[in-house]
Amino acid sequence: MASIFHSHHAKADTTLSVYSVADTYLNSDPTYAGRDLSNFGAMMISAHLPDPAQGINYSRTMDLLVAYDASSVKAGFDTRFGAGNWHVTDAQVKWFSSNDILGIPTNNPRYNVPAAGAFNISLLANNGWFDAAAAGGPGLANTDLNWNSVYGPGGAYRGLLNGAQTLGTYLYTGGTFNSANKCVVDVCDSRFWDLGDNARLFDTVTNGGTVSLFGSAADANVVYLVNQRGAAGALPQLFVSAAANASPVPLPAAILLFPGAALPLLGLSFRYRNLASR
């Protein structure tokens, strides 16, 4: 069920949030490359790096996958604005990290050592990596989904990334929280990542579909641990903002051509802006 609150983005917007229904990650390490890594408490985005601090002197790459069911978001906005009488204005994910201090090992050989760097979030066109009918609970992926089945020759999921669209490139800089225990509420470091204004993403939410995201390294340095659905109090979340009307209301041409003269029409003034900034 979606939760509802007013967004800080704009007074006219309303924001709904939902938890992920499935999540996992892919690990090129030969020890884990053939394993289902959902429901392990955490997933990771990592560049091709070793982990000598934990005795792993060969490099491995890690990618994460997380899915959100937007049907309750659609239902919530239909209730608030009327069916079909709203449009998406913003979408963000909120991801927690229970191992967020740069350079400090996770004390788990499945993961690399957190490090600052850039990563991508992409929208998948293929949602076949998990069973939607059985989604929720611990957030399990299909048991045969793993690094080898995605990237290996003849793998069952070789087409998983076909048609994927990059939503943005983001900078991970680390934080101040590490814990061997599961997160509770906002104890773990959390971050919002804005997903931009991708048309397919907005259409998916508008139609109450599945938002399936893929996280991968965008440089040779990043190592970012993200808590999975199985981590208490730190489930990955999707926040969607929407406003009334089926599409954004365009500004009159005169306002676009002469924005200064049109400020009174919009209820704005430069004086108001200056006062608000004090």
> Does one domain contain both 221 and 274?
no
Q: Which domain holds residue 20?
A: 3-247
Nearest to 96 by CA among 208, 4, 225: 225
> Does one domain contain both 29 and 89?
yes
| Average pLDDT in the chain | 86
> Does one domain contain both 278 and 145?
no
SS (H, E, C) 168-193: EEEEECCCCCECCCCCCCCCCEEEEE
Instruction: Give 237's strand partners.
Output: 19, 94
> pTM for this structure?
0.85
Query: 195 or 257: which carries more pLDDT confidence?
Result: 195
pLDDT of residue 186: 56
Burial class for 225, CB neighbours closer than 10 Å (0-12, 13-18, 19+): buried
> Does one domain contain both 159 and 267?
no
Query: 275 or 141: which carries more pLDDT confidence?
Result: 141
Residues 202-215, mean pLDDT to the nearest whole number:
98
> Does one domain contain both 164 and 259?
no
* CA-to-CA dists, residue 154 to 26, 94, 128, 159, 253, angstroms: 17, 35, 17, 10, 55
> Does one domain contain both 226 and 273?
no
Q: Which two tokens stand for residue 269?
A: 């003034």
How many structural domains comprise the chain? 2
Distance CA 36, CA 268 (A): 55
Q: Is the pLDDT of residue 207 over 50?
A: yes
* CA-to-CA dists, residue 202 to 12, 13, 67, 235, 242, angstroms: 18, 15, 15, 22, 10
* Helix runs in the chain, H state only: 71-81, 147-151, 199-206, 253-257, 259-262, 270-276
Count Cβ atoms below 10 Å from residue 186 Cβ, excluding itself: 11
> Does one domain contain both 273 and 202?
no
> Does one domain contain both 66 and 185?
yes
**Residue 179: band (very low, low, confident or very high) from pLDDT cuts 50, 70, 90:** confident
Lowest mean pLDDT, pick from 5-19, 30-44, 227-241: 5-19
> Does one domain contain both 239 and 261?
no
